């Protein structure tokens, strides 16, 4: 039996709730073997980020080469990339190895509000990495930042931004509505042919650390398992909704606690 393999290229969260650690937990929850390439070490916890130590671009390349030269990678998730040189190294490697599925989560700001992407890296992200993506998964502030626009506050504005993001060269866009208002959190999936509106109840909890990382990883896991994009997105949304709903079963940290990645098991 072939083992589905997903690779996360992202930053490390020493508190275990987001980044590489959340991605690997997500892959495991979906029965997918997870590999990882660390782009940065962060000193962070549920209350905030106190330090970032970037991995040199050439060592990011070395990690990617080590994984792809041995493992049959079915899907790649790209998270925190920090600097232009790191983004360029990742883009060059993805062009060499041409994985079938690439999910890019344009991580710019942590749940705590701390900035994770340098201002001078946004242009490189747009030009080099997004055109290689099967799917990008920005939230409302990230979508606006990628386009240098105001945050969309209406469905019409979200649809305009979705179309503009598609024009950057990616195959599909999922704009996440977790930062919106109202009783429902509404995500919009654009694939160039249609727009899917995906609503879920907004859950009242402060324990949302790592939500964006985990959702994009759940989609990558579905793609690694040979699901089509719509199925992978819908399945990931149901899983993340339940993981958030069960987050208060944990008592971890004093800030924005983690979601419950393994709610299916305990």
Full set of structural domains in the chain with CATH: 5-249 (3.40.1190.20)
- pTM for this prediction: 0.95
C-alpha 196/C-alpha 189 separation (Å) is: 5
pLDDT given at position 109: 66
- What tokens appear for 59 in the block? 């060592």
The Cα diameter of the chain in Å comes to: 48
Instruction: Convert the pLDDT of each residue in 193-242 to its tens digit.
Output: 999 999 888 888 888 889 999 999 999 999 999 999 999 999 999 999 99
Structural Rg of the chain based on CA atoms: 17
Which are the catalytic amino acids? 176, 208, 210-213
> CA distances (Å), 158 to each of 108, 180, 181, in order?
19, 11, 14
C-alpha 125/C-alpha 51 separation (Å) is: 22
Beta bridge partners of 7: 35, 76
pLDDT along the chain (266 residues), means of 10: 94 96 98 98 92 96 98 97 94 98 86 64 92 97 91 93 97 86 84 91 85 96 98 97 90 89 93
Tell me the pairing of strands 101-104 and 75-78. Answer: parallel
**What is the strand order of the sheet 48-54 is part of?**
48-54, 33-45, 5-13, 75-78, 101-104, 135-136, 173-175, 184-190, 195-201
- Burial of 173 per CB tally in 10 Å (0-12, 13-18, 19+): buried
- What tokens appear for 180 in the block? 């919106």
Instruction: Convert the pLDDT of each residue in 95-116 to its tens digit.
Output: 999 999 999 999 876 655 556 6
Distance of CA 127 to the CA centre of its chain: 18
pLDDT given at position 115: 60
Give the end-to-end CA distance of the chain in Å, rounded to a whole number: 27
């Amino acid at each position: 039996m072939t083992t589905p393999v997903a690779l996360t290229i992202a930053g490390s969260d020493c508190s275990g709730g987001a980044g590489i650690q959340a991605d690997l937990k997500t892959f495991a929850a979906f029965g997918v073997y997870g590999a990882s390439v660390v782009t940065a070490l962060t000193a962070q916890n549920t209350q905030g980020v106190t330090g970032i130590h970037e991995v040199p671009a050439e060592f990011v390349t070395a990690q990617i080469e080590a994984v792809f030269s041995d493992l049959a990678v079915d899907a790649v998730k790209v998270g925190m990339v920090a600097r232009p040189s790191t983004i360029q190294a990742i883009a060059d490697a993805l062009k060499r190895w041409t994985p079938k599925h690439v999910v890019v989560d344009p991580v710019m700001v942590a749940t705590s509000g701390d900035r994770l992407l340098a201002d001078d890296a946004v242009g490189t992200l747009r030009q080099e990495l997004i055109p290689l993506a099967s799917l990008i998964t920005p939230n409302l502030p990230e979508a606006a930042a990628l386009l240098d626009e105001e945050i969309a506050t209406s469905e019409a504005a979200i649809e305009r931004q979705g179309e503009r993001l598609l024009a950057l060269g990616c195959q599909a866009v999922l704009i996440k509505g977790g930062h919106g208002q109202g009783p429902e959190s509404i995500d919009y999936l654009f694939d160039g042919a249609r727009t899917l509106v995906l609503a879920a109840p907004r859950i009242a909890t402060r324990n949302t650390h790592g939500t964006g990382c985990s959702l994009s990883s759940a989609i990558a896991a579905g793609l690694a398992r040979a699901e089509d994009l719509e199925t992978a997105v819908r399945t990931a949304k149901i899983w993340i909704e339940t993981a958030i709903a069960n987050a208060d079963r944990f008592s971890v940290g004093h800030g924005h606690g983690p979601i419950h990645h393994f709610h299916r098991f305990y």
